[in-house]
């Protein structure tokens, strides 16, 4: 489920699962603890591994989870197709997060032939 990758001097935890891994704030904290125990302070996870409510900013789940990443000095990279979301506030949130660099959203659109 978690692959530890070393790139130069950085240790990265890559979550590799078809399941939703982060359903609650505590799930995110547990994931951070597991990854930091293995020496990784950057986590790469796919959009599908996070509950859909995370991307609805009204639920405040994204803010609570991302605050934990900041508190524990962890970086998070979320890979997904974010163009499907129409919320202006979410688009602004993604833009600002990417600008700051602690939490980044990598927009990956699957080829329609896949």
pLDDT tens, position by position, 33-50: 999 999 999 999 999 999
Output the CA angle 50-85-30, nearest 5 degrees.
15
Planar angle of CA 87, 81, 57, nearest 5 degrees = 30
Q: C-alpha 47: how far from its chain's center?
A: 7
Cα dist. 92→42, 52, 65 in Å? 23, 18, 17
Greatest CA separation for the chain: 41
Averaged over successive runs of 10 residues, the pLDDT of the chain (114 residues) comes to 93 96 96 96 97 95 92 95 91 93 86 41
**Which secondary structure element, helix H or strand E, spans residue 63, and what is its range?**
helix 61-71
Q: How are the residues of the chain apportioned to helix, strand and coil, as percentages rounded to the nearest 5? A: 45, 25, 30
What does pTM read for this prediction? 0.90
Domain boundaries, the chain: 2-86+102-107
Q: What is the spatial distance between Cα 44 and Cα 56, in angstroms, rounded to a whole number?
A: 20
Per the document, the length of the chain is 114
Residue-level pLDDT at 113: 41
């Amino acid at each position: 489920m978690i692959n530890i990758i070393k790139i130069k001097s950085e240790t990265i935890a890559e979550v590799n699962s078809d399941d939703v891994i982060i359903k609650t704030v505590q799930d995110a904290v547990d994931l951070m603890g597991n990854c930091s125990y293995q020496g990784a302070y950057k986590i790469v996870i796919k959009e599908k591994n996070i509950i859909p409510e995370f991307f609805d900013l009204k639920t405040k789940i994204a803010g609570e989870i991302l605050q934990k990443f900041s508190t524990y000095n962890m970086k998070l990279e979320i890979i997904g197709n974010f163009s499907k979301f129409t919320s202006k506030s979410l688009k602004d949130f993604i833009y600002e997060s990417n600008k700051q660099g602690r939490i980044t959203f990598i927009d990956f659109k699957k080829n329609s032939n896949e």
